[in-house]
Amino acid sequence: MKPKALLVIILFLAAISCRKTPDSEDLTLEQIVATDRDLEANFSNYSTYFIPDTVSIVASVSTDSILTGPLALQLVTAVKTNMNSRGYTFRPRSAGLPDLALRLTVIKDVTRTAVCGGWWDGWYGWYPPYWYGCYYCGGYYYPWCTTYTYTIGTSMLYMFDVKNLGTNLNLRALWGATMFGVFSTSNNQTNADLTANAINQAFSQSPYIKK
Amino acid sequence: MKKLIIFIFTIVACTGSIDAQKWNLDNLMTFNWQIATPLSTNYLKETSLSGGNFEYRRFLNPKFSVGIGFSWNSFEQYIAPRVYEKPDGSQAIYTDFVHQVYTLPMYLNAHYYFGGGENMKPYAGLGLGAQYSEQSAYYNIFVSEEENWGFVARPEAGLLFKLNDYFGLHGAVGFNYATNKNDDFKIESLKHVYYNVGIFWNVY
């Protein structure tokens, strides 16, 4: 091969490997908050609500399906504070059926994966039900192999219409918030703080929820 | 674009009597640092300092060359957290982003050289070819990404400044228009103005 052609090839290969690594330090890592509403719902038609003091939890490493204690209370309090500020009144279970019922579920999923080779042919984590790839799983350059551990947290807060409960007892969901993003693998207080912030954001971007 | 036209006009207007034989150019290579500013896209607008350019030019006569070239640019911009709402108001999502576009135009080029004196040689040229591009949106620890190809056209104007018979400095400004399209990110085409600062050497 002629030296000139070799030089061109070397420069070309250098160029295609020059893609800048994204400056991910700018990202807040606060939870992504997606909200969905029933457009036919008139939220001013409801006055009272109920939410249990426990949080449903689904985790790959868990001994229980219910989260109790201070962390659960922190999340439930965040919901109550927002509902109260919008003009709704909490109705205890003993006082009868409320107009609205809310339920909070947290999914904590620990995932591990091993990566070998360059970032361009590395593993891309597909996280259902979305189409997002996990760029933290990009990896290092050949020939090293490495193992990643990361935790994804997804919280779902749904609001149901109890006031208009049908004869078949089906509950109509009026509003839902899905909050997801990276979780701390070891510090659950950090995860609770992230989720509480996300709950506040969910209400903030849903100003139509008001008595 | 207006600045580009003024720049090209200035270069052409400043050309003097050509003395091309003194240059004795045969095969020219140029390697440049490339600064680029994206145009006409809401996806990102920040000027990128992460780019480069390489070209090979073969002179058919003292005033005209043809060759090949490629460039690369890595554009990036942080988008602060905000709420994105569906037009009917039924859904909303809140997040921040790092938007990134990587472009790799590869093209055939042709250049016409004006007279410019003993050490300076202004030129105007055009590159036509294909552009590979990746568009990425990073958020939290996730990424949405798409790659595509498009046709690319690159008019440019520049200046060679000879330091000795086989080596010199190079500067150019040009416009890169490519038909790469990304419906998800609402990108109809990728356009940027680029500025090359680098060196050239004559290979005998």
User: What pLDDT is recorded for position A136?
Assistant: 37
Q: What is the pLDDT of residues B150-200, one digit of tens each?
A: 999 999 999 999 998 889 999 999 999 999 998 888 889 999 999 999 999
User: Is residue A182 a contact partner of residue A195, using CB atoms and an 8 Å limit?
Assistant: no
Q: A144-183: buried (b, 16+ CB within 10 Å) or exposed (e) per residue?
A: eeeebebbbbbbbbbbbbbeeeeeeeeeeebbbbbbbbbb
What residues does A58 pair with on adjacent strands?
A: A107
User: Is residue A199 a contact partner of residue A75, using CB atoms and an 8 Å limit?
Assistant: yes
Task: Give residues with Cβ within 8 angstroms of B87, minimum separation 6.
Answer: none
Classified as helix, coil or strand, A165 is coil
Distance (Å) from the alpha carbon of B31 to chain A's nearest alpha carbon: 9
Pick from A21, A32, A154, A199 the residue to mutate for testing the B interface (most B CBs within 10 Å).
A32
Provide, as residue numbers in chain A, all residues whose Cβ is less than 8 Å from the Cβ of B31: 11
User: What pLDDT is recorded for position A120?
Assistant: 33
Cross-chain residue pair B94–A37, CB shorter than 8 Å: no
Residue A3 pLDDT more than 90? no
- ipTM passes above 0.90: no
Q: Can you give the CATH number for the domain in which A161 is found?
A: 3.30.160.670
Q: Which helix (H) or strand (E) holds A76?
A: helix A70-85
Residues 46-105 of B with CB under 8 A from A: 50, 52, 54, 56, 68, 70-72, 74, 76, 78, 81, 83, 85, 88-98, 100, 102, 104
User: What six digits make up the tokens of A176?
Assistant: 């839902």
| Per-residue confidence band for A196, with pLDDT thresholds at 50, 70 and 90 | very high
Smallest CA-to-CA distance from A120 within A104, A99, A135 is with: A135
Domains by residue range for chain B, with CATH: 2-203 (2.40.160.20)
User: How many whole angstroms separate alpha carbon A128 and alpha carbon A148?
Assistant: 19
Residue A168 pLDDT more than 70? yes
Provide, as residue numbers in chain A, all residues whose Cβ is less than 8 Å from the Cβ of B94: 32-34, 201, 205
Provide, as residue numbers in chain A, all residues whose Cβ is less than 8 Å from the Cβ of B96: 26-28, 30
User: How many whole angstroms separate alpha carbon B144 and alpha carbon A132?
Assistant: 6
Q: Phi, psi (5° rounding) for residue B39?
A: -125, 150
Average pLDDT over residues A71-99: 94
What residues does B26 pair with on adjacent strands?
A: none
User: What pLDDT is recorded for position B180?
Assistant: 95
Strands (E), B86-189: 91-113, 120-139, 142-164, 167-178
Q: Which helix (H) or strand (E) holds B12?
A: helix B2-13
A41 within some domain = yes
| Higher pLDDT, residue A134 or B114 | B114
- Counting the structural domains of chain A, the total is 1
A19 within some domain = no
Q: What is the pLDDT of residues B56-85, one digit of tens each?
A: 999 999 899 999 999 999 999 999 999 988
Q: Is A131 on the interface with B (CB under 8 A)?
A: yes
Q: What is the Cα gyration radius of chain B?
A: 20
User: Is residue B178 a contact partner of residue B128, using CB atoms and an 8 Å limit?
Assistant: no
For residue B48, give the DSSP letter: B
User: What pLDDT is recorded for position A157?
Assistant: 92
* Boundaries of domain holding A162: 24-204
Provide, as residue numbers in chain A, all residues whose Cβ is less than 8 Å from the Cβ of B203: 4
Distance (Å) from the alpha carbon of A133 to chain B's nearest alpha carbon: 5
Angle at A88 between CA A87 and CA A92, to 5 degrees: 150
A209 within some domain = no
A6 within some domain = no
| Higher pLDDT, residue A191 or B16 | A191
pTM of the model: 0.76
